[in-house]
């Protein structure tokens, strides 16, 4: 049996096999001609439970990381009730998938029509902003509603993160006073939000940002009801092994407790990558080998956008039985399109005897891999299969094993 869905109402239909298989090697043995996306519902469920149980506040999923309705449902089933939506298409998607979910429109620059639809049709009450113009737009679109939570986005440093988000959005802390004061007058609840950048490699990113929040609050002398630390929570990739997430949570909690805010203030976060990176991977076929270059049937215009355009390295494994005993060798990838930009430099470490006709699993593509796909040049595949094995890398399996080992057996 198969299930069809349409992500955001825009992407082509995906076909998700309801029957699970044990792992990627089973897919490779079927010799698929097109790439096959593997999804691991148990990995997403585990990540959701981790944030719900351990983050000292409210965790809301950043839908942009992966807008799959199946994934959104899994996160809801495991305790994620709030969703960070950045467009009216995401608002509609989550509202349609989860009618009881709480939606927060956290893009700081929105179309006035999108704000109005979100408020009047979908019940959105939380909006972010980083300018007086946006505040005026929100008030016009909602007809000066009295039940708004308005989150002023501060610009903070991305120096501790692999991908910067410091230039496009956010008001400088020393310029935030008039905006915070005006938002306070208009809002039922006033929040401050920020984003330290994607894949923050140290908890100090959040500590430093919280100091900027403190300075802005003191300067504006306003009562703040919500502190939203945004996203940036990391996953593990080759040469990018972050500290345990608990250390991030402890640092954030300490900083939050020391802020001059309302006694009943809430702490929020917007994890995206950390909730979905381990959810999926892709099985690709090697179509040609040219020295240290492998031509594969997915690439920059498919699930490997980040590998091509920002040099992201993903874990890879050769799917062959019996397994190769040849030492690993660094390879680069070319995708299937006619475009020279369809190149992923890597290096990706695979056995040196990899050849055309072999299958390779590329892991940790649950975050942004599925979301960035196109059908450029006529290439792409919507085939998706549920698998039961573990992701290649996980920040959560060790925690799960430790929890199991602490259970007292009588």
Tell me the catalytic residues. Answer: 338
Look-up: residue for tokens 């994607």? Answer: 198
Cα-Cα-Cα-Cα torsion 401, 402, 406, 409, nearest 10 degrees, comes to: 20
Query: Cβ neighbours of residue 199 under 8 Å, at least 6 residues apart?
Result: 161, 162, 163, 232, 234, 235, 240, 242, 273
Query: Cβ neighbours of residue 165 under 8 Å, at least 6 residues apart?
Result: 158, 195, 196, 197, 198, 232
- The tokens describing 316, both together, are 């890879």
CB 48 within 8 A of CB 239: no
Ranges assigned E (strand) in 160-212: 161-163, 189-193, 198-200
- The tokens describing 111, both together, are 């179309």
By 3-state DSSP, what share of the chain in percent is helix, strand and coil, each rounded to 5?
30, 25, 45
Q: How many residues does the chain have?
A: 410
- The tokens describing 9, both together, are 């109402």
Rounded Cα distance between 218 and 215, Å, is 5
CB 279 within 8 A of CB 366: yes
Rounded Cα distance between 172 and 92, Å, is 32
């Amino acid at each position: 049996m198969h299930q069809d869905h349409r992500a955001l109402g825009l992407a082509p239909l995906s076909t998700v096999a309801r029957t699970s298989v044990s792992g990627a090697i089973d897919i490779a043995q079927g010799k698929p001609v097109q790439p096959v996306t593997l999804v691991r519902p148990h990995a997403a469920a585990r990540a959701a439970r981790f944030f719900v149980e351990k983050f000292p506040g409210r965790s809301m999923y950043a839908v942009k990381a992966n807008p799959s309705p199946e994934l959104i449902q899994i996160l809801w089933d495991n305790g994620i009730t709030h969703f960070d939506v950045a467009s009216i298409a995401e608002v509609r998607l989550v509202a349609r998938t989860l009618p009881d979910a709480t939606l927060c429109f956290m893009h700081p620059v929105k179309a006035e029509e999108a704000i109005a639809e979100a408020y009047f049709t979908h019940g959105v009450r939380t909006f972010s902003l980083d300018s007086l113009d946006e505040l005026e737009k929100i008030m016009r679109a909602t007809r000066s509603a009295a039940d708004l939570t308005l989150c002023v986005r501060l610009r903070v440093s991305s120096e501790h993160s692999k991908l910067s988000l410091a230039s496009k959005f956010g008001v400088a802390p020393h310029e935030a006073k008039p905006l915070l004061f005006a938002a306070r007058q208009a809002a039922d609840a006033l929040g401050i939000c920020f984003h330290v950048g994607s894949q923050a490699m140290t908890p100090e990113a959040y500590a430093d940002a919280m100091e900027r929040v403190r300075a802005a609050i003191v300067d504006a002398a306003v009562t703040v009801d919500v502190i939203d630390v945004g996203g940036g929570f990391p996953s593990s990739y080759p040469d990018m092994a972050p500290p345990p997430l608990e250390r991030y949570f402890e640092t954030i909690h300490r900083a939050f407790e020391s802020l001059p805010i309302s006694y009943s203030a809430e702490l929020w976060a917007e994890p995206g990558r950390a909730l979905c990176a381990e959810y999926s991977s892709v099985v690709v076929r090697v179509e040609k080998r040219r020295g240290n270059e492998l031509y594969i049937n997915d690439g920059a215009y498919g699930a490997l956008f980040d590998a091509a355009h920002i040099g992201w390295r993903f874990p890879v494994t050769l799917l062959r039985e019996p397994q190769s005993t040849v030492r690993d060798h660094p390879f680069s990838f070319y995708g299937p399109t006619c475009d020279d930009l369809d190149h992923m430099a890597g290096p990706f470490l695979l056995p040196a005897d990899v050849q055309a006709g072999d299958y390779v699993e590329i892991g940790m593509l649950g975050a942004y891999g599925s979301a960035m796909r196109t059908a450029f040049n006529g290439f792409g595949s919507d085939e998706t299969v549920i698998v039961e094995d573990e992701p290649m890398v996980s920040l959560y399996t060790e925690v799960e094993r430790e929890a199991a080992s602490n259970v007292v057996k009588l």
